[in-house]
């Protein structure tokens, strides 16, 4: 018999989650290396907005920033796994719904508290 309710994460699942997050982190970091390579070519700003390389550069910069945010949030989730607070609501101490964690692994609030905060 499984004593852990369906919507909660067991220790085994937290470990699986950790493996998944570490893999995702590696992928994101590899992607970051690629984008940074592309960012090395800035284009010629003296040509003004006319140089399409500038547009590409700006796009890559935006991409790099989004990716960095993702990397940061994965780091945060991994820290919480290490601290044993992963998947536990910071505000009310209840477990965070599994479906919510799949979408936002770094979630620190359960859906009820997040809704409360959003009001
Ligand atoms: Zn809560």
- Could you tell me the distance, in angstroms and rounded to a whole number, from the CA of residue 12 to the centre of ligand 1? 22
The strand pairing partners of 95, in sequence order, are 88
Mean pLDDT of 5-10: 61
Per-residue pLDDT, 1:
47
The Cα 67–Cα 5 span in angstroms is 34
Question: Across all residues in the chain, what is the average pLDDT?
Answer: 86
Closest to 104 in 3D by CA, of 17, 12, 33, 7: 17
- Could you tell me the distance, in angstroms and rounded to a whole number, from the CA of residue 114 to the centre of ligand 1? 7
Cβ contacts of 54 within 8 Å, gap of 6 or more: 42, 43, 44, 45, 47
- Could you tell me the distance, in angstroms and rounded to a whole number, from the CA of residue 1 to the centre of ligand 1? 27
pTM for the structure as a whole:
0.74
Q: What is the pLDDT of residues 76-88, one digit of tens each?
A: 999 999 998 888 9
């Amino acid at each position: 018999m499984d004593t852990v309710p369906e919507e909660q994460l067991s220790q085994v699942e937290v470990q699986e989650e950790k493996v998944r997050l570490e893999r995702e982190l590696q992928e994101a970091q590899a992607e970051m290396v690629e984008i940074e390579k592309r960012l090395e070519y800035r284009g010629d700003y003296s040509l003004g907005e006319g140089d399409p390389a500038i547009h590409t550069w700006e796009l890559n910069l935006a991409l790099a920033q989004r990716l960095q945010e993702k990397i940061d949030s994965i780091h945060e989730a991994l820290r919480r796994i290490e601290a044993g607070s992963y998947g536990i609501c910071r505000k009310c101490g209840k477990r965070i719904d599994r479906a919510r964690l799949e979408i936002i692994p770094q979630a620190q609030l359960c859906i009820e508290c997040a809704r409360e905060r959003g009001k």
